[in-house]
Structure 1
Amino acid sequence: MAAKTILTALTLLLVLSGMAQNGIDIPDVVNYSKFDYNAGAQTWDIRQDKSGILYFANNEGLLAFDGTSWKTYPLPNKTIARSIEIGPDNKIYIGAQDEMGYFSPDQQGRLGYHSLKPLLPESEKSFADIWDVIPFDGDIFFRSSNRIYQYGNQRIKTYLTPAWQFIAVCNGQLIAQDNNFRLLTFQRGSWVPVIDTRLMPAEYMITAGLAISSDSTLLVTLKNGLFLLTANTVSPIISPGLEEVADQHIYSAAVASDGTFALGTTLGGVYFVDKSGRLLRHISREQGLQNNNVLCLFSDRQRNLWLGLDNGIDLMVYDQAIRHFYAGSQNESSGYTSILFDNQLYLGTSNGLYVAPIDTGNNSIRMSAAFTAVPNAKGQVWNLAEVNGRLLMGHHEGAFQVNKNRVELLDRQSGFWTFLPLQNILPASTMVAGNYMGLRFFHFDGEKFTLLTQQANFESARFVSVDGENTIWVAHPYKGLYRISLLGNSAPGVKLFGATEGLQGVNFIFPYRNKLLIATEKGIYEYLPDTETFQPNVFLTRFFASNSIRYLREDAAGNIWFVHEKTLGVIDMSDGQGKITYIPELNNKLVSGFEHINPLTRQDVLVGGEKGFYLVNLEAYKKKKSLLPISLRKVAIGKSSDSLIFGGYFGDVGNAQLQPLDRIFEIDHGCNSIHFEYAAPSFGNNLNLEYSYLLKGFDQNWSEWSRKTEKDYTNLPAGQYTFQYKARTNLGLESDAGTYTFSIKPPWYASREAYFLYVLIFSVAVYALYQWQEKRFLKQQQKHDEEQNRLQYLHQLEMEKTEKEIVKLRNEKLEAEIEHKNTELASTALHLVQKSELIAKVKEDLSRQLRTVESTSPLDDLKRMVKVLGEDEKMDKEWETFAHHFDKVHSDFLVKLKAQHPILTANELKLCAYLRMNLTTKEIAPLLKISVRGVEISRYRLRKKLQLPTETNLFDYLIAV
C-alpha cells in the first residue's frame, strides 16, 4: 500500500514537471544594502500587508518598506527580530530575542509596540529567540528553541519540549518537529504524531513546509533534501542536482510566482526547482545577489521574490513581460547585437559571441539550454547580420563569418559596424560593410564572400543604408549625412548633406517602409529624391514632434520601437491609430549610444542592456494591471520626524486608507508648513509610476504627473484642507485618490478664544465707554450745574448786589427820608420849641399886661387867651402826630421801646425819642417844658428804669433798639 502511494506521488510529480516551463532567463535582481535601508545587516523574515507594505524582521527591529522609503521600528530591548507575521486581527506579531509581542497603530497612525511577556508567568518569561510566528485557527503560535506559546483571548498557553525545531501551517494543518525529529500536528490542544519517524532519515531537520496540492506537502530539510508528505506517508524526492542543493544547506523556502519552488541556502544562494525536484535555475552572487547566505524568502503580491540575506536584502523581479538574462556565466558583459539564425539565438556582447538553441513556437521565445561561447569570438562584437543566408559578425578585430559555432575571418581591418547587400534580389552579388575607416565591399560567389579592392575611406560608417544598387547613405552623428554614389570601377562619389538641405544636426539613419528616415535633434526627417531635400516625416512627427530619437525599429506587428533620452518606448499600432507606451523598467539600463532592439517574433523583442539582454513581450506588458492602493505614509510639520502628526496608518495595518472623521488633526498656525509623503507600493518597477496631488482649499487643479513622492506646503492660511493624492502607471492605469483632511488653526489673534476675548474686550470697552460717557455726562452735567449754580450764584450775587444797591439806594433814600424826617422832626421840634418859647413869651407878656390891665372885659379876654395858650391838648395831639412819624422813620422805635419797658411814662418816651434824635439837653428842655436841670434829672431816672450799667451809653442803647 505504501509503495503504491509512493508510486502515485511520483507519477503526479512527473505530470506536474511536464507542465513546468524550462528557461534560462533569470529574474532581474535589485540589491538593497544595509546602507539603503539604514538598519541591521541580517533579515530573518518578511511579510506583506493588504495595502502592499512590506515588513522585515531585522537585526535592529521591524523594517517597513513602501517601495519608496524605509522605516525602522526598534524593539524596546533593542534586540534582534527573528520572525514576523501579520495576524488575522491585522496586528504585526514579532518574535525576537527574549521578547514577543505585536505592533499596531496608535491614534496618530504611528506603529507602537505592545509586549505579550506580561501575560506569561514569571517562570516562563525568560526564553531565547522566537524563531517562528504562525497564525492558526484564530490564535498566534510563537516557537522558541524549547517552547511553543499559543496566544489567544489575552492568554498564553505554553507547550514544553527539550527542543522545537520547526513549525508551519501546511494544507490547513499546524505541524511541528520536536527534538526527537518527530513530525507532529496540533489537534484539540495537543500535539500528536503525523507519520512514523522511521520513514524519515535519521536526525533530519525540517526548515520549511510548502503545499503542493490540497493533500500533499513539500518538506524541505536543512541537509537531507526534499520530501513529499501525502496523508500519513512521506517519501524522498530524487532528482539530479538536488544533492548539490542539499549540500548548500537549505535554510528557507518559498513558492515563486511561476509555481516553482525557491530554495534559499546558506552557502549557494537560491535554487529553483519544479514540483518534481528538477533543478531549473540557480541564482547566486555571480548572478547579482549580494551574498549567498539566504536567511528567508517571501513572494509578494506582485509576484516578486524577496530574499533576506546575511548582509542585505535582495529583490528578484518576476516579470513575465520583461525577462532578463545574461549571455555568459558572468553578468558583466553588455549586450550590443543579436540575431535569430538557424533556430539558434546568437548574442554579441562586449565579451564575445554566445549562442543558445531556442524554441519559437506560438510566436514566443522559449530557451531550452544555457548560452555557450562561440570559440575564437572573444572580445567586442558590434554587429550580427544575415546576408545571402550567411551569418556575419562585425567585430572589433575584423569581419567574420560564423559557420556552425565557428568563425572564419573575412577582413582583418578593425572595427566592422554593419553588413548590407547592395542588390534587392538575393543572393546579392555584392555586399557593403561599414567599419571604423569607411566602407568596404565584398563579392559573393555563391559560397563565400571575397573582399573587393573598391572601398570608400572617409569617416566611420556605423549607420549605413542602401538605396538601390548604386547609392549608399552613411550618417555621421556629428558631421552630417553622406551620399555615396557608386560609379563602376571609379572612385565613389561622396556628397555631404546638412542644414542647406533641411537637416538640423544629423544623428542616425534608419530604413522605414522603403523610406530613408533621418533622426535629428529636431525630430524625424525623410528624404525627398525629386528635390534632394529633407522634410519632417508627417506620421512620426505626430508622435515625436521635435524630440530627438536615438533609435528606430519596426517589428512584425507594425509597432515602432524607439529610444528617447535613454528610455525605451514603442508606438503601439494595435488600435490602428498608434499610442506611445514607455518601458521605464529599462530606464538607464540600455547601452547608451549603442542601443539595440531586435524584434524576434510578433510578441518578443530583444533589447541589449548594459548587463546582458532583456526580452520584452509587449502583449504581456500591456496586460500588467496590478496597482496596489496608494498610501499616505507620512504627514509632518516641516520635514522633521519629531513633528510627525500622521504615521501612515488610519486604522489597523493593511486596512483601507480611509481617514476617520474623528481624526482630523488641528495644527497650530505657527506650524503651518506641512510635509506629505505618499507611495503606491510597487517593487522593482516603481519607475513606471507617476503621482499627482491636490490640496483642496488651496490648489486650483491637480498637479502635473511626476515621480515625486512627497510634497511640501508652506505658510498655509488658517482653514480646513484636504490633501488628495493618486498614482498611475505608464499604461494609464490610475488609482483611486486617497485623502487626508486637516485644519490650520487661525493665529492667536484670530482664534475663537481671541474673538471671544475681542467680544469681551469690546463689551468691556463699550461698557467702559458707556460708563465714561455717563461719567463724562454726569461730570458735564455737574459742570453745567456748577456753571449754572455759579451763574445763578453770580446772578444771585448780581441780584443781591442789585438788591443791596436797591436796598442801599432805598436805605439811602430812607436815610435821606429819615434824615429829611429827622430834619423835619427836628425842625418841627425846633418849631415847637420856638412855638413854646414864643407862647411862653406871649404868655409871659400877656401875664405882665394882665397885671397892668384893670378893665374887666378885656381882662377876661386876655385870660381866656392865656388859658388857650396854656392848654396842652393841642400839644398832645401834635405829640401823637410826632410819635407816629417818628416810629415810621425809626422802625417803630417807640412801640418796641414801650414793649421792652412798659414802665416808661409818656414824658420818658418823649425824652427817649428826643435823645434818639440826638437833641441836646438844652433843646429837649423846652419840648418837655422843663428846665435843663430837669432834663438831666429825667435822663438819670430814665437810665435807672432802663437798668443800664454805668459803662453803657444811653444814646447807643437807644440806637440799638
Structure 2
Amino acid sequence: MFFLFASIVYSQEIPPIEIFTPQDYGAEDQNWAITQSENNFIYVANNLGLLEYNGATWQLYKSPNNDILRSVRSAGNKVYSGGYMDFGYWMKDQYGKLIYQSLSTNREFKIKEDEQFWGIIDIDGFVLFQSFETIYIYDITNDSFKLIHSDDRINKIFKVNESIYFQKANIGLFKIVNGKEQLISSVLELKDNEIINIYAVDDGLLLQTKENGIYKYNEQLVKKWNTSANKILSEVSVYSAKKLSDGSFILGTISNGIVRLSSSGDVITRIDQSYGLSNNTVLSIEEDNYGNVWLGLDNGINVLNLSSPFKVYVDKQGILGTIYCSAKNNGYLYLGTNQGLFYKRFDADSKFKFIPSTEGQVWVLTVVDGILLCGHDSGTFTVGNDNTADFLSFEKGTWTIKPISSDMLLQGTYKGLSILEKKNGSWKYRNKIDGFNISSRYVELSNNNDILVSHEYKGVYRILTDSNYREVSSYEKLNVSQGAKSGLLKYNGNVFYIYEDGFYKYDIGTQGFQKDSLLSAAFPKQDYLSGKLVIDSQKNRLWGFTKDRVIFIEPGELSSLPDISSIPISSEIRKSKPGYENILHITKDEYLIGSTEGYVIINLDKLKEEPKEIVLNGIEYSSRHDNFSQLSLSESSQRIELNYKRNSLKFSYSITDFDKMSLSEYQYRLKGIYDNWSKWSTNSSVAFENLPHGEYQLEVRGRTSGVITKNRIEYSFIIQKPWYLKPLAIMAYIVLVLMLISLIQVLNKRHYKRQKQKLIENKERELELEQLESQKQIIQFKNENLQMDIENKNRELGTATMNLVKRNELLNDIKVELTKAKTIDDTKNVIRLINRNLNNTSDWKLFEEAFNNVDKDFMRRVKSLHPAITPNDLRLCAYLRLNLSSKEIAPLLNISHKSVEVKRYRLRKKMGLDHEQSLTDYILEL
C-alpha cells in the first residue's frame, strides 16, 4: 500500500521559500500589506503594528492606538501607514528608530467612526489614503488634503503607470484626474466583479477580478482575457495580486496559496501549503528590489526567491526518503533513495513513480550504453525502457559499478569485488573475484588488472588480479592514512584520494600517493565534510562538497593547472547526507543535488551575485553597571567622544539579503585594539566591553554567497581619558607627588633620627648589658678564683693538719720508744726537745691562720655565741670544724684520746648542748 500511494507523489520544483513565523518576527499572525524602503528594508502592516526587517532582525513598532495596521507604503524617507481611524507616517530618528506622526489629527476633516484605511499610493508629491468611504489625497509640499467621498464602497485603489484608478462597488471603474474622480467604465463585468488589481499591458489594461479571472480593458471595451489559466482562476478566490518586473503575475488566493502566471497568462507554477507555504491565505504581495516576492499571509510571512539560481523539490510526505544517487536516461529522471528507486518524466511536472521490486536502499545509479544499472542493498538491477527492474546480480550490497571495457564492468560490493559481463547485448553476472573480501565502496582501476580500493576505516588497498579478473594475485595496503569519510575517484586519468588531511594523487610509478597542494587548498581541514567526489562527464567536471560550499574542478583553459570554482551553499541548506552527497548534470547549466528532504536544482548561469550594501542600524553604549543607551547615527560620519565610564559599546548592522539559500556573514575589526579582521560570523552585532581610553575606528564588512559587500561600515570614536588621567589631574598628581616626596623626606629624617636614637639607646643598652655581663663574668672569675683559693687553702689546711697529725704521731711514737730506753739521761734531752715541738705554739698559729683563711668568721661566731670558752676550747672547735675524730685530734693537742673526750664533754657543757645533741654536728652547722 505504501508504494502504491507513493505513485501519486506530485513533482514540482519551486523557488526557495524563506519562512517567517509570528514567533520569528514577534507579532501577530495576519499581515495586510508589505512595502520596501529606499534602503531596502522591508515594512509590514501587521495586526499588532508596523514590522521592520533589515535582513538580520525584526523590529515591531506598535501602532499608536494599539490597533491593526491595514496598509503601508514607503515613499522617500517616510513610511506611510493606515489603520483604524488613523493614518500617518513613520520617520527614523537620530538613533535609527521609527517615530510616528499622525496626518489625520487636527485637520479640517474628521475621520468617520470605525473608518479603516486599506490602501496607500504615492505619486508625484502626493500620497493617497483609501478607506471604504473616502480617498484622502495628501499634498506633501503644502501639507494639505483633498477628499473624494463615495456613498458606495471603494474596494481598492490602484496605481497603473502614472494614473490612479479605483472601483466603486456596483458602479464601475473610476480614474482620478486633477484631484477628481472620473468614471471610465460601468459595464456589467466591472459592476459585478470585485477588482483585485489592474495591470498595464501594451494594448490596454488587465483587470484582475476576485473570482472570475482576468478581463482586458481597451478603449471602453471590456472582455475576458482568454488564457490557459481561466479554468484554474475560476476555481480560486483571489485576494491579492501583483505584476512582477519580469512581466509575470503572482495571484494570492484566499484558500489555495499562490498562482503564478506568465505574461501571456499561462500557469507557471502553483504553490500552496503542501509545497511549503506557511498558509494558504495570501493577504498581501510585494516584489522587492532583488526580485523576491514577499507574501503577507493569514499566518506568517513568506519570501519566494524567484530570482534565485536555486529551485527545490521538497518531499513533504516523506515518500521518497533520502536521495543517495540520481540519473537521467531516456527522458526520465531517476532517484535512488533509502526507500527504493523512483522515476518521472524529466521535462514535465509529473508524478514520481516507484519502480516495483526495488524496495530498500539504492547506493548507485550508472548508465552504460543507454542501460540504467542500479546498485542496491539487495544486489544489482537493470532498469528497462519500460521502467521495470530485473535482477542482474544477487550478491548483496552493490556499492559502485565501474567500466573495465566495453563488455566488462567491475562491481564493488559489501564482500569485495565482482564482474559483470555483456553477452549477446545483455549484461550478466559473471563471477566474484576470489581472494579479497573487504567491503569495497570506492573502487578504481589504475591500470589493467591493477585495482585500488578505499575503505574509510582500513585504508587504501592495491589489488592485482589475474588477466581475466577471476582471482586476486596479490594485494597490499598502501602507505596513506585512512580517514573517516574519505573518498577515491579517477578523474582525467588520475586516481585521487581525499580525506580531511588533503587531496592526494596516485603515482603509478612509485605506487604511492602524493599530496596535491592546489586541490588540497580547495578542501581546507576546518571545512572538510566528506570525501565523496562526483564526475560530470558531460562538462568534464569533478565535484566535491565541504561544510560551506559545493566545489567543482575542471581543466584550465590557458594553463595545465585546473580551474577551481565554488558555490556558497552550506551543508545545512543542502541537507545532503554527509558522505553520500550526490550531484547530477540535468541540463546545460543546471545540476541536481539530492538531499534528505528531496533535491535542489542549481542554475550555474544565474549564480552571478551582485554585491550588496551593509547598513549600520544602531549604536548603543553603557557603563559597567548601567543598561545600554542609544547613540546617534546621524553623527556616524563624525568622530564622537564618549566619557570614560561609557566604555562598553554595541553595534548592530545588517545586509538586506533575503535569499534563503545564501548566507549573510559579517567581519569586523576595531582599529586601536584589534587591528586584524575577525573570523566570518553570522552574528549581525558586535559588543565591546570596558574599552580602555583611546582613539578607535570600527570597520565592518559583509558577504552574501561569498561576495563581499560593496561598502563597509566605518565608525570612529574616542573614549576619553578618565578625569584622573587628564592634564590638570596629572599636574595635581605632580604637586601631590612633590609634596608627598617632601613629606616623606621629613618623615624619613624624623624616622631616621628616631631610628638613630633608638639604635644609640639599643647600643647603650647593649653596652650596659655587655658591661653587666663582663662584671658578671669578672665576679664569676673572682668567685672561681676565690673558690680555687679556698680549695687551695682547704688543701693547704688539710695538708697542714695532716702534717701536724702525722708529725705529732711520729713524735709521740718516738717519745714512746725513747721512754723505753734504758738510759734515761740519754733520752731526756730528746724527749724534752720532742715535747717542746709537740707544744710548739707556732704550729698552732700557722694552723689558725690557715683555718681563718678558709673559715675566717667561725672563730668570731663561736666566741660571740659562747664567750666562756678558752683558746684551747677554740682550738678543739677548729679541729671539730674540720670534722676530725677524737683519735685524730689527740696528737694535735698532745693528749690522749681519753683526754680529748673529756675536753669534748667540757666543751659541750660550756656551750650548753643537750645530751642528745651532737657536738660535731653543732659546730659544723655554725
Fold conserved between structures, TM > 0.5? yes
2:616 corresponds in structure 1 to 632
SS at match of 2:128: strand
1:257 CA displacement: 5.5
Asked if 1:448 corresponds to 2:426, the answer is yes
1:345 corresponds in structure 2 to 333
Distance (whole Å) between structure 1 residues aligned to residue 520 and residue 17 of structure 2: 37
1:736 corresponds in structure 2 to 711
Match of 2:129 among 126, 137, 142: 142
CA-atom RMSD in angstroms: 3.5
1:328 CA displacement: 9.2
Distance (whole Å) between structure 2 residues aligned to residue 332 and residue 444 of structure 1: 32
1:668-817 to 2 correspondence within 5 Å? 668-684=643-659, 687-719=662-694, 721-749=696-724
SS at match of 1:670: coil
1:239 corresponds in structure 2 to 227
1:62-81 to 2 correspondence within 5 Å? 62-81=50-69
What do residues 780-817 of structure 1 show as CA deviations (whole Å, max 9, x unaligned)?
A: xxxxxxxxxxxxxxxxxxxxxxxxxxxxxxxxxxxxxx
SS at match of 1:323: strand
1:295 corresponds in structure 2 to 283
* Distance change in 2, residues 1:493/1:242 (3 Å): farther
Asked if 1:176 corresponds to 2:166, the answer is yes
SS at match of 2:533: strand
1:265 CA displacement: 0.9
* Distance change in 2, residues 1:246/1:134 (3 Å): farther
Range 405-414 or range 48-57, more displaced: 405-414
CA contact 1:237–1:276 (8 Å) conserved in 2: no
SS at match of 1:156: strand
Match of 1:336 among 324, 330, 336: 324
* Distance change in 2, residues 1:504/1:127 (3 Å): closer
What do residues 135-157 of structure 1 show as CA deviations (whole Å, max 9, x unaligned)?
A: 12321111112222112232233
CA contact 2:259–2:269 (8 Å) conserved in 1: yes
CA contact 2:486–2:532 (8 Å) conserved in 1: no
CA contact 2:488–2:495 (8 Å) conserved in 1: yes
CA contact 1:507–1:521 (8 Å) conserved in 2: yes
What do residues 219-267 of structure 1 show as CA deviations (whole Å, max 9, x unaligned)?
A: 2221111122334333222333433334331111123464321111111
Distance (whole Å) between structure 1 residues aligned to residue 219 and residue 697 of structure 2: 57
Match of 1:645 among 603, 619, 630: 630
Asked if 1:565 corresponds to 2:547, the answer is yes
Equivalenced residues, count:
714
SS at match of 1:540: helix
What do residues 524-582 of structure 1 show as CA deviations (whole Å, max 9, x unaligned)?
A: 22223333322213552354466745233454555542112363223475675556543
Match of 2:497 among 515, 518, 530: 518
* Distance change in 2, residues 1:493/1:84 (3 Å): farther
2:309 corresponds in structure 1 to 321
1:431 corresponds in structure 2 to 409
2:915 corresponds in structure 1 to none
Distance (whole Å) between structure 2 residues aligned to residue 686 and residue 706 of structure 1: 16
1:210 CA displacement: 2.8
Match of 1:417 among 382, 390, 399: 399
1:382 corresponds in structure 2 to 363
* Distance change in 2, residues 1:507/1:304 (3 Å): same
1:895 corresponds in structure 2 to none
1:157 corresponds in structure 2 to 146
SS at match of 2:231: helix
Distance (whole Å) between structure 2 residues aligned to residue 718 and residue 434 of structure 1: 67
CA contact 1:687–1:707 (8 Å) conserved in 2: no
Q: Which amino acid aligns with 2:583?
A: I
Match of 1:399 among 367, 374, 380: 380
SS at match of 1:124: coil
Match of 1:129 among 102, 113, 116: 116
2:87 corresponds in structure 1 to 100
1:604 CA displacement: 2.9
1:259 corresponds in structure 2 to 247
1:334 CA displacement: 3.4
1:353 CA displacement: 3.6
SS at match of 2:569: helix
1:507 corresponds in structure 2 to 486
Which is higher, the Rg of structure 1 or of structure 2? 1
1:733 CA displacement: 4.0
1:190 CA displacement: 1.1
Distance (whole Å) between structure 2 residues aligned to residue 493 and residue 148 of structure 1: 92
Distance (whole Å) between structure 1 residues aligned to residue 43 and residue 696 of structure 2: 31
1:304 CA displacement: 1.3
What do residues 759-779 of structure 1 show as CA deviations (whole Å, max 9, x unaligned)?
A: 99999x99xxxxxxxxxxxxx
Gap runs ≥5 in structure 2: 1-10, 740-926
CA contact 2:135–2:149 (8 Å) conserved in 1: yes
Distance (whole Å) between structure 2 residues aligned to residue 257 and residue 433 of structure 1: 52
Gap runs ≥5 in structure 1: 1-22, 359-366, 651-657, 767-961
SS at match of 2:164: strand
1:268 CA displacement: 1.0
1:696 CA displacement: 4.2
Distance (whole Å) between structure 1 residues aligned to residue 338 and residue 492 of structure 2: 31
1:341 CA displacement: 1.9
Distance (whole Å) between structure 2 residues aligned to residue 198 and residue 248 of structure 1: 21
* Distance change in 2, residues 1:295/1:504 (3 Å): closer
Q: Which amino acid aligns with 1:682?
A: D
Distance (whole Å) between structure 2 residues aligned to residue 275 and residue 730 of structure 1: 30
Range 261-270 or range 683-692, more displaced: 683-692
1:336 CA displacement: 2.3
1:893-912 to 2 correspondence within 5 Å? none
CA contact 1:387–1:420 (8 Å) conserved in 2: no
Give the % identical residues. 28
1:583 corresponds in structure 2 to 567
More relative contact order in 1 or in 2 (CA 8 Å, sep 6+)? 1
1:204 corresponds in structure 2 to 193
* Distance change in 2, residues 1:518/1:257 (3 Å): farther
SS at match of 1:671: coil
Q: Which amino acid aligns with 2:409?
A: M
* Distance change in 2, residues 1:80/1:401 (3 Å): same
SS at match of 1:422: strand
What do residues 818-874 of structure 1 show as CA deviations (whole Å, max 9, x unaligned)?
A: xxxxxxxxxxxxxxxxxxxxxxxxxxxxxxxxxxxxxxxxxxxxxxxxxxxxxxxxx
Distance (whole Å) between structure 1 residues aligned to residue 422 and residue 595 of structure 2: 34
Match of 1:82 among 66, 70, 82: 70
What do residues 317-356 of structure 1 show as CA deviations (whole Å, max 9, x unaligned)?
A: 2245333235898787433222232344333344544444
What do residues 642-696 of structure 1 show as CA deviations (whole Å, max 9, x unaligned)?
A: 634248x64xxxxxxx8465xx655332221000111121112574443332334
SS at match of 2:226: coil
Asked if 1:408 corresponds to 2:398, the answer is no
* Distance change in 2, residues 1:490/1:375 (3 Å): closer
Distance (whole Å) between structure 2 residues aligned to residue 575 and residue 675 of structure 1: 49
Range 53-62 or range 500-509, more displaced: 500-509
* Distance change in 2, residues 1:538/1:74 (3 Å): closer
Asked if 1:227 corresponds to 2:204, the answer is no
* Distance change in 2, residues 1:62/1:542 (3 Å): closer
Distance (whole Å) between structure 2 residues aligned to residue 129 and residue 596 of structure 1: 54
